[in-house]
Amino acid sequence: MNLPLIPPVKNESLNGDVLSMACDCLVVGIGESGNLSPIASLIDERTSGWLTNAIASGAAKTKRGELLTLPTLPGIGQTGSCAAVLMFVGTGDLAQLDRGKAFDLASTVMRRLVDSPRNHIVFSLGTPCSPEVQEAFVAGAIAGCAGQSNYFSDPAIHPPASIGWHDFSPSAVALGTMIGDSINVTRRLVNEPPNVLYPESFADAAAAVGNEVGLSVEIWDETRLDAEGCRAILAVGAASIRPPRLVILRHYGAPSTQAPVALVGKGVTFDSGGLSIKPTDGMTDMKCDMAGAATVLGAMRTIALMKLPINVVGLCGLAENMISGASYKLGDVIESRQGTTIEILNTDAEGRVVLADVLDVAVQNKPSAIVDLATLTGACMVGLGRDVVGLMTNSESLCSEIIAAAKQESEPVWQLPMFEMYGEHIKSKVADIKNTGDARWGGAITAAKFLERFVDDVPWVHMDIAGPAFAESPKPHRDAGATGVMLRTLVSWLKIRAAS
Ligand code: BES
Ligand code: MN
Ligand code: ZN
């Protein structure tokens, strides 16, 4: 698949007199404290107090996320050239600006600015913020340059050619670009329609991304999957004319003696429900059912570019859940790669069946930890809502590492319990386990209990991203559609792990 995965935005740090530089828009931060940043003060001085008046009268608001756009003010530049348009952006209380807020703020700004073509945009936030927060600003701005309207004949989004970051550190700009671009790669793949994105074309895209950034890429086609005993993946994909794939990405940034971390993603490129078919309403957005796999790819892309000193293997289990004479059926018993036998009682509980084999391949890599990401259950959305990721684990210490990283990035996560009694619900009368719980109660957890059977004793965290991976409606800081949720958390966590 040959898609323009990344909007062609070039990010660079810049210094000097930004008021006397030509650009299409200069974005100036105004904080809540009342004392203006050096650039805002200069504007104020050169316009005889226009900005102070604007703030005092409420025409310009300092509350975080408030935007005021206007044609340039006469006399702000000292040479002939200056910004064509000014945008004042409220940054709120600067001390409160963490990475999550910085990301959303920059994305909000860019989402407003991409409504018309602009070549060069300069940000002068005037905040002496930490490199980590600078990084988040840059990543958020890039995320704001992409959305789900990829197939409009008349483009709705016009990404600029370049963004300049006044007084930002070059390395923060570089790192933020890696994260922002990777989020957009993930979102683009999730937003692709299922006639374009299917297991084979996902694998092609993964190979292209992997080659670009220096990941090793291994692809198991249906013949290899069969030879490897991946009968569970093959069963889910059996009814599709698009055969399944397993993509294995490797980043070995540490000595090969170090056990790798495994990232595992559910990559159901379309989930019709199979013979347990979904109604139209439930099927409409089921192109998003490969978000876990796309997030694994995006995270692997980021850490490869960052050259993180850690070993990570990323596994994407890809299948299309369809209907035909070859469908896997209710009552089928499948022997998974690991040997555990699975009775199929609902073909719409396909994600856990795919992951059974992928987790087994992950375990074979002798990892020190496994994290899987899956749009696994509607039950998780019932329990936690659309915006919160459900975490389930067999290792409290690993889970608290993940929770800490998520907190740093302001990505909302909540842990659900994994009491032994939930395991009772997946006992089958004819096989080792069945692929649905006895009742719908606790559906997110019974699904995780199923997965737990395939991770051996490896510390493992399961992320159910069914709600937050794909947004129904837009917000000021992001378009509807794919969100790239958890990519920043994964990268943060791996960074911390690489340093310890
Ligand atoms: N892909 C769905 C879960 C899902 C639902 C993701 C909504 C995103 C938004 C999954 O394969 C599924 O169908 N799960 C079933 C499981 C049930 C049959 C045990 C569900 O949640 O209803
Ligand atoms: Mn399903
Ligand atoms: Zn599914």
pLDDT at 186 over 70: yes
Per-residue pLDDT reduced to its tens digit, 43-65 = 999 999 999 999 999 999 999 99
DSSP 276: S
- Check if 471 has its Cβ closer than 6 Å to any atom of ligand 1: no
Residue 439 has what pLDDT? 80
- Check if 446 has its Cβ closer than 6 Å to any atom of ligand 1: no
Residue 5 has what pLDDT? 78
The arithmetic mean of pLDDT across residues 90-95, rounded, is 86
% of residues, the chain, pLDDT over 90? 91
User: How far does the centroid of ligand 1 lie from the alpha carbon of residue 376, in Å?
Assistant: 6
Ligand 2 ion: nearby residues, β-carbon < 5 Å: 271, 348, 350
Residue 311 has what pLDDT? 98
The set of residues, in sequence order, having a beta carbon less than 8 Å from that of 150 and lying 6+ positions away, is: 188, 191, 192
User: How far does the centroid of ligand 3 lie from the alpha carbon of residue 352, in Å?
Assistant: 9
**What are the start-end ranges of the E strands in 349-452?**
369-374, 389-393, 413-415, 433-434
CA distances from 488 to 234, 338, 493 (A): 31, 31, 8
- In terms of DSSP H, where are the helices of 7-113? 38-46, 50-57, 99-113
Q: What angle do CA 99, 488, 121 make, to 5 degrees?
A: 60
Per-residue pLDDT reduced to its tens digit, 169-183 = 999 999 999 999 999
Instruction: Give the residue numbers annotated as catalytic, written as ranges.
Output: 278, 352
397 burial class (0-12, 13-18, 19+ CB within 10 angstroms)?
exposed
* Confidence at 287, pLDDT banded by 50, 70, 90: very high
The arithmetic mean of pLDDT across residues 18-46, rounded, is 90
User: How far does the centroid of ligand 2 lie from the alpha carbon of residue 378, in Å?
Assistant: 9
Tokens 């309403």 -> residue: 281
- Check if 436 has its Cβ closer than 6 Å to any atom of ligand 1: yes
pLDDT at 193 over 70: yes
315-342 b/e with 16+ CB inside 10 Å = b?
A: bbbbbbbbeeeebbeeebebebbbebeb
Pocket test for ligand 1, best of 377, 389, 425, 483 (most atoms within 8 A of CB): 377
User: How far does the centroid of ligand 3 lie from the alpha carbon of residue 195, in Å?
Assistant: 17
Q: What are phi and psi of 108, to 5 degrees?
A: -60, -45
Tally of CA atoms within 13 A in the half-sphere of 36 that contains its CB: 22
- Check if 464 has its Cβ closer than 6 Å to any atom of ligand 1: no
> In whole angstroms, what is the distance from residue 45 CA to residue 9 CA?
33
Q: What angle do CA 161, 165, 169 make, to 5 degrees?
A: 130
Tokens of 169: 């550190």
Residue 6 has what pLDDT? 76
Residue 4 has what pLDDT? 73
Q: What is the mean pLDDT of the chain?
A: 96
Asked if 386 and 410 count as a contact pair (C-beta separation under 8 A), the reply is: no
User: How far does the centroid of ligand 1 lie from the alpha carbon of residue 348, in Å?
Assistant: 7
pLDDT at 479 over 70: yes
> In whole angstroms, what is the distance from residue 343 CA to residue 311 CA?
35
Pocket test for ligand 1, best of 345, 376, 387, 450 (most atoms within 8 A of CB): 376
Q: What angle do CA 309, 313, 319 make, to 5 degrees?
A: 150
Pairing of strands 216-220, 162-166: unpaired
Tally of CA atoms within 13 A in the half-sphere of 310 that contains its CB: 27
pLDDT at 35 over 90: no
What is the Rg, in whole angstroms, of the alpha carbon atoms belonging to the chain?
24
180-198 b/e with 16+ CB inside 10 Å = b?
A: bbbbbbbbbbbbbebeebb
Residue 38 has what pLDDT? 87
Residue 39 has what pLDDT? 92
CA distances from 217 to 17, 204, 221 (A): 46, 10, 13
pLDDT at 7 over 90: no
**What are the start-end ranges of the E strands in 197-289?**
216-220, 245-252, 261-271
* Confidence at 75, pLDDT banded by 50, 70, 90: confident
- Check if 186 has its Cβ closer than 6 Å to any atom of ligand 1: no
DSSP 29: E
Residue 127 has what pLDDT? 67
Per-residue pLDDT reduced to its tens digit, 431-455 = 999 999 888 899 999 999 999 999 9
Per-residue pLDDT reduced to its tens digit, 105-131 = 999 999 999 999 999 999 999 867 899
pLDDT at 373 over 70: yes
Residue 78 has what pLDDT? 80
pLDDT at 89 over 80: yes
Q: Whole-model pTM?
A: 0.97
- Check if 379 has its Cβ closer than 6 Å to any atom of ligand 1: yes
